[in-house]
Structure 1
């Protein structure tokens, strides 16, 4: 059985971030420049907004999970670009109605920035472009506007270890094909992996599927050694009893277990107690399907989750920072869900340097040359978050001709 040999355990470390994050409610923004009370007008105005669909390419075909068929080798972002009269440009993940976006035209971008609250605008949760623009107006990185309480390098994991062993082209290679994917990601700098389990939900007979799940995680652990973090995610393909059997027979102390069965405060508490009774430090993570922040309230109040996984693009920077504040007194951390896109990784990284209780960022291995991400660097499982104004990515505007323009509006 794997155990931590020494040092503070993760559950104790969670408590150390509480005071720092709670301070953001009274000291809501860490400033190196202009004070927020003097920053209510930029003297600029929004003159042009464009909305694109951006397709990025994965290096591999991502296979099935417990509920869905093959995920393929592409991912999709909805990109909103906002230009101002002075020539500034803010961009990011956002998918508003054209009518809502029209309400931004001729407005001062700082009209939507509320110190201590975040971005409040017609874009709603799709606030990334306005955060990016606000950072550029202040000549500040967005992570500093969010608080600046996180580390300069944020832990990242590869979330793409799906059921490759079940695909026809790899079936004769089976588990070794999954190990090849692990090796490729290790070369890229990853030191943490989330492994999909739940083959017996629909793709294999139940008992055989559980056996294969156990074989896969054991093979990966043996292959990568003890220093690489492993997580598992069944996409609600197990029930509580099957989760316990899987963990017992796998005999691996995972960093966290995610969506092992449909969310239930009582059953998640039972799972946590069962994990503790075995002396494991494994964390319980869930919440990616949540549509409103109130969904998390009973889980926070009763301590049913160790890690909250509100979707990065669904909630945006402002609401996930609010969720982090709610979670901090209970020592609960965030690992936002992120899949099927390129931009979500960089949003998580900015958030992770802004708040003190983001435990890890999820990467979909999608890539595109539309953005210059060279200021971000993955090394030994952590990605450096740059100090550049805005969100840190550079948009190569000359390459927008290769993407799909959905609409464009002007003042």
Structure 2
């Protein structure tokens, strides 16, 4: 029985393992200049550029090594608080435990973190370790993680693209796309009009046979979300997403009651299974969107999927197609009907040049099939992982 012999955690760059894209872009990406509504938009000096107020801590890499020398690798965000949480609290208590006991190890971490809550930043720490453990488990057992958790559920994952370069998404073959919302309550009626105009132009561009969604990124209140949804009703949105701040659980219920006809998605900023249980029990959303590297890792998402599937609610993880971790979940779970690909790089750069890891798949004509290498099929060596350090 292999046991955990070491857990190393370190900051990583967000750069791709293979280096920057080689292809020259046609134009700059929307991601660098577009105004995106958010929770700080009510404060004028933070409104135009959301990078001003978001955390600047690096990403986190977590390397778990077993007694037989096999290793697994996981990632998350927010190195500042997350690295010491793993390094000085979680890791020392997991050394010597059965490396394959993913359920037990996840339960231990959730309970170890209980004095300061397993939710929030602790969930990021748990996610990194859990993903590394699943990668390790797949390598030891010689199976891709998607097979260990019961897949495949479908021949390929249908994907949608998120971002402001909708014409590029269509050229890449996506059959569904999601817009970032540019304006919120602080922009008043003119902003509401501009939001409506953007969605109308986009629907005209993509036609009726492409799904269209709208990401509101915690920027709205209930009243504004209702007014916006009523304005956009003629344009056939599949859902509006993350309208409220994540703690506003009562607001989610109010929004559901006031918009019974509108598709609602949320959960990107919920952590660990309990808030998803609350949402599923009250049917406040049609789509739940945990992030596999934030919400508690693969083990947490398997529990969330079970909760949601029993309630007839889809689970479409936040940016799930941008990492092998989310890809394996989406390929295996019957209740995950689509996968999200956040497209932040500039138009003209092939998706093949945006891989986070050498072995990860990318959507082709809107569909994605993860590879079948053991673990998450990262295709990365220890040298590759070392190169991710700042």
Task: Please tell me whether residue 291 in structure 1 is matched to residue 254 in structure 2.
Answer: no
Task: Please tell me whether residue 268 in structure 1 is matched to residue 251 in structure 2.
Answer: no
Task: Please tell me whether residue 212 in structure 1 is matched to residue 200 in structure 2.
Answer: no
Unaligned runs of 5+ in 1: 1-40, 162-180, 276-281, 406-411
The counterpart of 1:348, out of the listed 318, 323, 326, is 326
Q: Which has the higher strand share?
A: 1
Task: Please tell me whether residue 109 in structure 1 is matched to residue 94 in structure 2.
Answer: no
Task: Please tell me whether residue 186 in structure 1 is matched to residue 170 in structure 2.
Answer: yes
Equivalences, count: 328
Match of 1:22 in 2: none
The counterpart of 1:70, out of the listed 29, 33, 49, is 49
Please identify runs of 4+ aligned residues in structure 1 that moved more than 6 A.
Answer: none
Change beyond 3 A, Cα 1:370–1:269: closer
Equivalent-residue separation in structure 2 for 1:98 and 1:351 (angstroms): 27
Q: Which has the higher helix share?
A: 2
Task: Please tell me whether residue 144 in structure 1 is matched to residue 147 in structure 2.
Answer: yes
Equivalent-residue separation in structure 2 for 1:155 and 1:145 (angstroms): 21
Equivalent-residue separation in structure 1 for 2:230 and 2:324 (angstroms): 36
Task: Please tell me whether residue 318 in structure 1 is matched to residue 303 in structure 2.
Answer: no
Task: Please tell me whether residue 228 in structure 1 is matched to residue 210 in structure 2.
Answer: yes
Match of 2:313 in 1: 332
Q: TM-score, normalised by structure 1?
A: 0.70
Asked whether the 8 Å contact 1:88–1:133 carries over to 2, the reply is yes
Asked whether the 8 Å contact 2:323–2:356 carries over to 1, the reply is no
Write out per-residue CA displacement over residues 27-66 of structure 1, whole angstroms, 9 at most, x where no aligned residue: xxxxxxxxxxxxxx24x65356353412227972343321
Instruction: Give, in angstroms, the shift of residue 335 of structure 1.
Output: 1.8
Instruction: Give, in angstroms, the shift of residue 318 of structure 1.
Output: 0.6
Change beyond 3 A, Cα 1:211–1:389: same
Equivalent-residue separation in structure 2 for 1:369 and 1:398 (angstroms): 17
Equivalent-residue separation in structure 1 for 2:67 and 2:236 (angstroms): 55
Equivalent-residue separation in structure 2 for 1:392 and 1:369 (angstroms): 13
Asked whether the 8 Å contact 1:289–1:310 carries over to 2, the reply is yes
The counterpart of 1:379, out of the listed 364, 380, 383, is 364
- Match of 2:235, SS state, is coil
Unaligned runs of 5+ in 2: 21-27, 41-47, 77-81, 110-124, 345-352
Asked whether the 8 Å contact 2:35–2:182 carries over to 1, the reply is no
Equivalent-residue separation in structure 2 for 1:49 and 1:313 (angstroms): 17
Match of 1:28 in 2: none
Write out per-residue CA displacement over residues 331-383 of structure 1, whole angstroms, 9 at most, x where no aligned residue: 011122349xxx85332211112221113322233676662135x14123221
Instruction: Give, in angstroms, the shift of residue 222 of structure 1.
Output: 0.9
Write out per-residue CA displacement over residues 189-248 of structure 1, whole angstroms, 9 at most, x where no aligned residue: 43322112251433xx31111111111111111111222211012224334443343333
The counterpart of 1:125, out of the listed 121, 124, 127, is 127
- Match of 2:135, SS state, is helix
Instruction: Give, in angstroms, the shift of residue 388 of structure 1.
Output: 1.9
Asked whether the 8 Å contact 1:66–1:201 carries over to 2, the reply is no
1:155-174 equivalence runs, <5 A: 155-161=158-164
Change beyond 3 A, Cα 1:87–1:384: same
Asked whether the 8 Å contact 2:143–2:375 carries over to 1, the reply is yes
Equivalent-residue separation in structure 1 for 2:179 and 2:74 (angstroms): 29
Match of 2:119 in 1: none
Change beyond 3 A, Cα 1:393–1:71: farther
Superposed CA RMSD:
3.1
Q: TM-score, normalised by structure 2?
A: 0.73
Match of 2:122 in 1: none
Match of 1:55 in 2: 14
Match of 1:3 in 2: none
Change beyond 3 A, Cα 1:244–1:107: closer
Moved more, 304-313 or 46-55: 46-55
Equivalent-residue separation in structure 2 for 1:81 and 1:365 (angstroms): 27
